[in-house]
Chains A and B, each alone.
Chain A
Amino acid sequence: MSSKVLERDPIAGAPGAPRLKGRGTPWRERFFHLSLWASLAVGVVFLVGLITYVVVEGWSRLDSRLWTNFPDLITPSNGGAQSAIMGTLWVIGFTALYCLPTGILTAIYLEEYADQNRWYNRAVEINIQNLAAVPSIVYGILGLGVISRGLGFGQTVLTASLTLSLLVLPVVIISSREAIRAVPQSIRQASLALGATQWQTIWRQVLPAAVPGMATGSILALSRAIGEAAPLLLLGGLTFITFNPTGVESQFTVLPIQIFNWISQSRSEFVALASAAIVILLVILLAMNSLAIWLRNRYSHKW
């Protein structure tokens, strides 16, 4: 939207057009422009610095030991993160299984069925917006008090993935709603005019058109779940686990928790190990982010 305005730059003028005579750009303008540019640059420089730091620190440990060996408290130089990598895959798999259908169905209800003038639908909407900004440690308390101890699911993969799916559910709902809203009304009207029922219209017309947007949002939501450590701290995912999960009833650890555990150790070998595990985690997340951006660019189209 704003790019249209930026293209016809009133200071520079259209290319080829005679420049208006001015007294040059005052130093205040230049300073302002420079400081705006600098504030963007700080974040980018920080990002580059952080990535360089973990790669350099973790370089000596970035080999196959990292994913073939289990954590080792006595000889950290031989330890790996296999149980954490497998635990992450298990927990995120079940998180996706719980939160994606729930989130997408909620989005369909709110966009296609709910009457926005009804107070209860607006309450649901505000509730979701608020949940999106509730601190993740509060979800940990929910998982600890209600799911783990209240429902008696214990400190298992099941508890962890239920907790994480509630945590990222608002993100899935909000992004799916945006994808559904982007499908033009004329497509629905055409389908209904041909005699399709409302669900047939949604299932065969609206959803196929909205899938790329939903996929983008879902990937971003899951990549947030992969990086979360705070709620899982409360669910007991901290012990040195030297086995891979075998089912939803299994105990578990995940990469961020394993990293946190290693950071808390005083011996310097653990710093290298933590850095190497961070590199793995960042590679997974960057891959997911790039996939999301690629999906958005590849399949987004103007109607």
Chain B
Amino acid sequence: MKSGAPGQRTVSGGPGFLKQSQPRYGEKVIKVLLVAASLVSVLTTVGIVIALIPPAGEFFGKVDFGDFITGTNWAPLFKPPHFGVLPLVGATLMVTLIALLVAVPLGLGAAVYLSEYASPRTRTVFKPMLEVLAGIPTVVYGFFALKAITPALQDHWPFGDGPQIFNALSAGFVMGIMIIPTIASLAEDAMSAVPHALRDGAFALGSSRMQVSTRVVFPAALSGIVAAIVLGISRAVGETMIVAIAAGGQPNLSFNPLEGMQTMTAFIAAAGIGDLPTGSTGYQTIFAVGSLLFVMTLVMNLLSIRLVRKYREVYE
């Protein structure tokens, strides 16, 4: 299926009598142009690294890296400033965990339903609906979490004090709904790639549809499903607008999801709005936290890409 360069190979690599009659400069110019275009994406990565590393380096010239990574007090604009990033990381992990508790079961459930149960007609109705969910701007999700979900939770909270106006719970819940399509579509791809012979074999042995789904298709597609979840985690860690709107802007090292807390992305956004002067330590914190965020998501993205490749190789 892969298209190499059939034209070129026959002309330039063939026997002598097929030698090209004239050099085709136009073709060469076009190839240079195409290579130049594909370098843009490489330059983007280089640009990201250039944007992050020097200011982050300057920051770590002033602030000890150990203090940064283990400190429990984040107050970069106070006097004296504190640069302990743990409250931001803790909040990020808290919101991510809540989002995954929503998105993993619902996303995988939807994927199994679409891949193993749904009739073709049901699929053509519901798949685009899930895609619409992925296309809604996150600022809208944030608005809905703050103005609709949080008040509803406050009104109907069954035990003790309800959630605060800004809280990790509604931000995480809405983020989980946002991630459902990501997990569902990648997991469904993985399950659809499982050969039909496996299903037929299991059915022939008298398995029910549930047994085929959970004991044959699901294990066979596991690496793709894990990749989907890892990508979902990466999405949750990197999501900005929902947490900036609904989770609040107060750094808070707490494990109570009903409290407001500031995630890494929400801090970057808040600091960016502040229009800090170039070169100040406050400005450099954007890049220090950004570097940490980039490294965390990079590791997860590469892991997810590897896992996707693994299952593709098995069944092609």
Contacts and interface: CB of A to CB of B under 8 A. Distances in A.
B301 A130 contact: yes
The 4 closest A-B CB pairs, nearest first, are: A135-B238, A39-B109, A227-B137, A105-B37
A39 B269 contact: no
Given A44-B126, A138-B293, A36 B112 contact: yes
A250 interface: no
Contacts of B72: none
A137 B293 contact: yes
A124 B36 CA distance: 12
Given A102-B37, A234-B268, A134 B110 contact: no
A134 to B, nearest CB: 6
A188 B265 contact: no
Contacts of B144: 50, 53-54
Q: Is the interface of B mostly helix, strand, loop or mixed?
A: helix
Interface stretch (A4-12, A62-70, A72-80): A4-12
Using C-beta atoms within 8 Å of the partner chain, give the interface range for chain A. Answer: 35 or more
B156 to A, nearest CB: 15
Given A43-B106, A133-B301, A230 B117 contact: no
Contact of B146 (A26, A223, A263, A286): A263
Given A106-B37, A130-B301, A263-B245, 15 more contacts: A4-B196, A39-B109, A46-B133, A53-B147, A130-B305, A131-B41, A134-B297, A137-B240, A138-B52, A142-B47, A181-B1, A185-B1, A201-B7, A234-B286, A293-B128
B41 A170 contact: yes
B210 interface: yes
Interface in B195-253: 196, 199-200, 203, 208-210, 213-214, 231, 234-235, 237-241, 244-245
A6 B119 contact: yes
B81 interface: no
A101 interface: yes
Interface of B: 1-8, 10, 24, 26-27, 30-31, 33-35, 37-38, 40-42, 44-45, 47-48, 50-52, 55, 105-110, 112-120, 123, 126, 128-133, 135-140, 142-144, 146-148, 177, 180-181, 191-192, 196, 199-200, 203, 208-210, 213-214, 231, 234-235, 237-241, 244-245, 265, 268-269, 272-273, 275, 278, 286-287, 290, 293-294, 297-298, 301-302, 304-305
A215 interface: no
A106 B273 contact: no
B37 A101 contact: yes
A73 B149 CA distance: 27
A282 interface: yes
Contacts of B26: 199
Interface of A: 1-7, 10-11, 26, 28-29, 32-33, 35-40, 42-44, 46-47, 49-50, 53-54, 57, 101-103, 105-106, 108-116, 124, 126-131, 133-142, 144-146, 149-150, 166, 169-170, 173, 181, 185, 188-189, 192, 196-199, 201, 220, 223-224, 226-230, 233-234, 236, 238, 256, 259-260, 263-264, 271, 274-275, 278, 281-282, 285-286, 289, 293
A111 B24 CA distance: 21
A197 B7 contact: yes
A3 B123 contact: yes
B201 to A, nearest CB: 12
Nearest to B8: A198
B146 A106 contact: no
Contact of A198 (B7, B203, B301): B7
